[in-house]
Chains A and B, each alone.
Chain A
Amino acid sequence: MNVYECNENQFVENIRRLVDSNNKIIVNRRITLYDDQKYGLSTLPDKEFESYSMIAYRNGYKRTVYAKVPFIDEYHNHLYKENEVLHSSSNLLFPRLFIPYYKVEYSFNIWGNMYLHSFDLLFKSEIKLEKRKIRGNNLLVHVLRFIVPDERIMMLKLPEQVIILDVKKLTRIFE
């Protein structure tokens, strides 16, 4: 079986053409939550890094990121100290502070070939100053929260004639 990777434009248009030619299409959809150190602050584009600028600083893209102030990463239940390295430029593959994301995969099979489109959707950040009890003291501290993306933005809207099946795991069997 050949597996063809498509971008969104190609994937949607391929389905539209198949529907227009009266083919019945079943599309598999897999949405998986990951929290695996794939996305750290050093490799975020400048514009996106700005949303973390209250708690972190860096000298440029792919440069080491440091904590500007002490803060709590509520999602991972971790307290970072001021000037602690959050993502080192010498270890870009393994950030210490990382952003959770959903991996969205759409695929369909036709005439023995698989057509696949996938993308990652990153959680948004929200930073607030809150009172927290740290080592017995009530302190005002920055709290970082990761917000789940809107469910609708994870979807590819496909024609009504297309049947979408949600799946958990894709296993390829080669004979």
Chain B
Amino acid sequence: MSKPINNRAWFFVLPVLGFVMFSAIIPMMTVVNYSVQDTMGSNQFFWNGDQWFRDLLNPTTEIGARFAGALGRNLTFSLVALLIEVPLGIGMALCLPRQGWTVGFVLVLIALPMLIPWNVVGTIWQIFARADIGLFGATLVGMGIPYNVTQDPTSAWVTIVVIDAWHWTPLVILLSYAGLRAIPDAYYQAARIDSASRWAIFTNVELPKLHKVLVIAVLLRFMQTFMIYTEPFVVTGGGPGSSTTFLAIDLVKIALGQVDLGNAAAMSLVYNLITLTICWIFYTIMTQMDKRGAE
């Protein structure tokens, strides 16, 4: 039996196409447009070829050095955040109750930070971390620990990392908890019959079963930390100096602060490309793992 072919069906795709044009493709093309042109103002543009990209990727130029610095800081930040949040999240998920009325209570309590918008989190911590009146900052200072978010780079870094861990470790906890709950009791029973120690159960039963969930958790956390903007913007403003100036912050400074459209366009395209590449790598790893598991 041959299927009826009706090309009019394509017309139904048009609204979506139109929507995607306006929401993604056209804005993206304007960025591409800016990245290959220069302007002297008064809305007059001229062709600049790949010069913006050459400058950006050359660390000896001013913009290149800035970009390399921000990229390095951002990668470091993502790495530190992941190293703290993933083990902490798994550990806390293991400690959560598995049954009884406390389950719902504890889960809601843990999920609370995730329900708070980024800028509110930033504002909360901006006050919380103040060395003079903030509970956190003032307490640390009172204990004799040199702490000042706005003047000491180490303090600023620690604060941003702590904020991110506070805000997003719950995501890792919830994902791990769901993964742990999905392990049938028989596995634990079998491990007990085999006289496995608690650590052996963790490494041989729980961790392998959490594998897939953890890939998702790591992927999500990497993307979010790699795009971090609001917390450093509100709490440290990217400072002191440029110590907490991450890629997104620098990009906004260049584009909206200096209205340096060429540099900003080139930078956002490269930034986007890095994000896409990392996404692709994660996706490949995940599908490869699925394939191996299905064999």
Whether A and B are associated in the same complex: the answer reads no
Residues of A within 8 A of B (CB): none
Residues of B within 8 A of A (CB): none
